[in-house]
Structures are given as structure tokens and as C-alpha cells.
Structure 1
Amino acid sequence: MKRILKIGLDSAAPFPLHSDYNSAKFEGFEVDMISAVAELLDLELHYEVSLWATILEKLYKGELDMICSAVTMTPSRKMILEFSQPYLEFQLCAIVSRGVVLSDLSDFANKKIGIRIATEAEKYVMSAFPSNVTVHAETNNELYKKLLAGRIDVLIDDSPIAGGFLHKHKTLEIGMFMPGTESQYAIAMKKGDVVLKDQINGAIDLLKANGSYNQIFKKWFSNIRLV
């Protein structure tokens, strides 16, 4: 009998990592990757969909077994959660309307910056641009709609997620990658769940060794710049 794992999923779908769970076709890089991991480990995945801050809290409390939904691995999170080996490297980037020039951080002066609540991008902006007016949103869709409507001047986002939105909105582009924001996504698990972590890491190693990981990566990121 397969072991059932409860996996948290961000309801504000960060495509191409994953689409909306309730859409006609649930798909994405993380969907393919974790499905391949589950097949190797004979696991059955039960998704629980909620806002980003909520699934993080549920994992910390032990109400979920893992999150595979654009979780940035950070020193502070590693103190309270277990993490698999990284499966994607990226940077934060600034998204602007086409034609807006950004060459260094001084170009952000007096710009209204949009960021998503409870993300590493939010932490970065509050530290790097303390004097700027900031607009905080619960979902990615809200942020990009605000930028398209001219209600913010720029938004800061993870480059994989930005790539998905830029594919839909051709009037937007990456103005610049934010210096010093090299980051990694990893699967997050309950603190102390080292047996599961070791199993996940072994499966990821196998997917990389047999070429499956590279096939999945090329399928979803062949036209998206991550760094």
C-alpha cells in the first residue's frame, strides 16, 4: 500500500512551476518533478491548496508533510524546516513596462514597488528600498494587474514566476536582475523528518542521473531566463 503524503500547494499558482490546481489541466515543472519523485518512492500525493503564508504555517505545525511550491531555501527557514537538496536556481528580478530603463539600484528612486506578502522578495524590498512606497498583494495576479494598470512602477518577483507572466503579458519585461539575490528552490518538510528528506534526495539524484530531471527542466524553462 502506498504511503500518502499531504503536500501543500500555493493557491496563487506560480506558473510555470505549477498551474492552478482547479484548472482544467494541472501541470508545471514542480508537478512533473514531484510526480516523478513519488513514482520512484511509491508515494501517493494528496494536495492541500491554500495561500502561501497559510501552507507555510501548516507545514511548521506538522499539518502537512511537505511543500513543493516555489519554496526558497533560506538560513532562517532551515532553522524550523527540513529541506531537500535544491532543484532550481534563480534570482529576484524587477519587472517593468517595456521601454522603462533600469541599470542600477539608483534607478528605483521614487518608484512605487509591488511585492507579494510573506515572500523573500518582500524581505528584500523592505531592506533594499526602505524609503520607497511599497504595495503588498496576496497573489501574483494582483501584482501583475497593478503593474499593467500603472498603479505601481515596478514589481520584484522570482525569475521563474516572472517568466510565466511575461509569456502572457508581452508589454512587460525584466528590467534587471537584483544583485546579490541568487536563490534556490527546494522541497520543504517538517523539522526532523530526515528519513523522508533522505528518500527525496535519493530520488532527485536518480532523476538527475538518468536524464529525467533535464528533460523536465527543458520542457518548462527552455524560453525562460532564470539568472
Structure 2
Amino acid sequence: MIMKQILKIGVDSAAPFPLHSDYNSTTFEGFEVDMLQAIGKVLNLEFQYEVSLWSNILEKLYKGELDIICSAVTMTSSRQMILEFSTPYLEFKLCAVVNKGDTHGDDQTFKDKRIGIRIATEAEKYVMSKFPSNTTVHAETNKELYEKLLDRKIDVLIDDSPIAGGFLDKYDSLEIGHFIPNSDSRYAIAMKKGDIELKERINETLELLHENGTYDAIYEKWFSHIRLS
């Protein structure tokens, strides 16, 4: 009997549903969970999940404390300099989430607004570079950020559209004000720099999942009702 290779997978403690739910909840599920299960079945892999704050998770991978991260990791040029990335598996945009009824049609309406953003995210980088004079509220978790918006402690929050879609399912009083122009982004599986063999095996499997319809079935299950851009 061939022993399964065990990989340590880093996931965000602030669950970015529908990518994945809280690992410590009764049911651990989501798009990335299903996708990894399909990859693991093909490659005979066993996964050990390790939960960490997003502000720490990339550093843990860089130090070799994790084998991969599959937790809504945006693939960027700066990250590609220190990490390996698989073929992207989801394309999306950043979006502005507001309370229903609040006027927010484009970036011009950010003027004088209190903007909420998660720490150590691409959304945070965007806001700090584009709107340095605005009042900004930084949060460690998605839940904290959306609750601040509901309580009107902030006027708008910037988030990845897949994650925003998950919260809009939960909170009927919120909506996407607009998608951020020129914020096209992609999620990919992150690995340690130089882990080329693993990257190639994962990429080959992702291609197979696209070819045999498995990817499309998983996508339809989790994103058929969510607008990503």
C-alpha cells in the first residue's frame, strides 16, 4: 500500500467563506476545501490544516513552517518574488461594500468616507495608496469589519468580491456599491520558493480537473449566485 504524502496547509483563522469556512466549526467546507480534496485524491495526498491569522500566514510559509497556503491568497508580483504559485484558480475584483441605500457608484464617492479594510491584504494596500487622507479602520477579521459596517462605524469597506459575496448572503442589508476599476485579481495556491516539483504536480492536476469537469462542478456549487466582477 502506497503511503500518502502529508502536506501542512495554512488557512486563515478569519474564514473567507465561501472559499472555506471556520476550520474549528462543526463543518469545514467551501470551494477551496472541495478543490483540495479533488487534488488530493488524484495525487494521493493527505492534508493537515493549520490555522493562523492572515497577518502571519505568509511569513509561516516563507519560513517553511507550512507546505502550502490555500486560503484566498491573491497572486501578486511581489509575492511571486518570495513564493511559488500554482496556476490561478479564481479570478475576481476588489469591491466596495456599503449599507443598502447609501450612494456609492464609483471611486469618487470615497471622498470623506470612513473606509474599513483587513490588515495585510491587497485591499489595505489599495486603500492606503489611493486614499491616504481618508479615515481608515483596520481589522484582523472579516467578521469584525462587516459588523462595523452594519453598525455604521465605517461608511464603506473594501474586500475581495468572492468574500464579499459570502457576507452578502448572510447580511441582506448590505450590497456591493461598485467594483473597483483596474483591480483584476487572481487566487492561487502558494508554496515555498523553489518547490517546483509540487507546483508542477498541482498545476497538472488543476488542468485535469478543468478537463474532466470537476472544477466546473465545484465552481457552480459555490459561486453560481455570486458576482465576482
Shared fold, TM over 0.5: yes
SS of 2:217's partner is helix
Q: How does 1:143-182 map to 2 (within 5 A)?
A: 143-182=145-184
Runs of 4 or more consecutive aligned structure 1 residues displaced over 6 Å after TM superposition: none
Instruction: Give how far 1:103 is off.
Output: 2.0
Q: What amino acid does structure 2 have at the position aligned with 1:169?
A: Y
- 1:138 aligned onto 2:140: yes
Q: Report Cα offsets for 1:50-97 as digits up to 9, x if no partner.
A: 101211110000110000000000000000000000000000000000
Instruction: Give how far 1:36 is off.
Output: 0.4
Instruction: Give how far 1:42 is off.
Output: 0.3
Q: How does 1:86-101 map to 2 (within 5 A)?
A: 86-101=88-103
Instruction: Give how far 1:105 is off.
Output: 1.4
Q: Mind listing any 5+ residue stretches in structure 2 that lack a counterpart?
A: none
SS of 1:123's partner is helix
Residue 58 of structure 1: aligned partner: 60
Distance in 2 of aligned mates of 1:6 and 1:103: 42
Instruction: Give how far 1:102 is off.
Output: 1.6
Residue 128 of structure 1: aligned partner: 130
TM-score normalized by structure 1?
Answer: 0.99
Distance in 2 of aligned mates of 1:127 and 1:55: 23
TM-score normalized by structure 2?
Answer: 0.98
Distance in 1 of aligned mates of 2:139 and 2:60: 21
Distance in 2 of aligned mates of 1:76 and 1:88: 19
Residue 79 of structure 1: aligned partner: 81
Instruction: Give how far 1:106 is off.
Output: 1.4
Residue 200 of structure 2: aligned partner: 198
Instruction: Give how far 1:199 is off.
Output: 0.2
Q: Report Cα offsets for 1:178-223 as digits up to 9, x if no partner.
A: 0010000000000000000000000000000000000000000011
- Please tell me the root mean square deviation across aligned C-alpha atoms, in Å: 0.5
**Residue in structure 2 matching 1:23, options 5, 22, 25:** 25
Q: What amino acid does structure 2 have at the position aligned with 1:179?
A: P
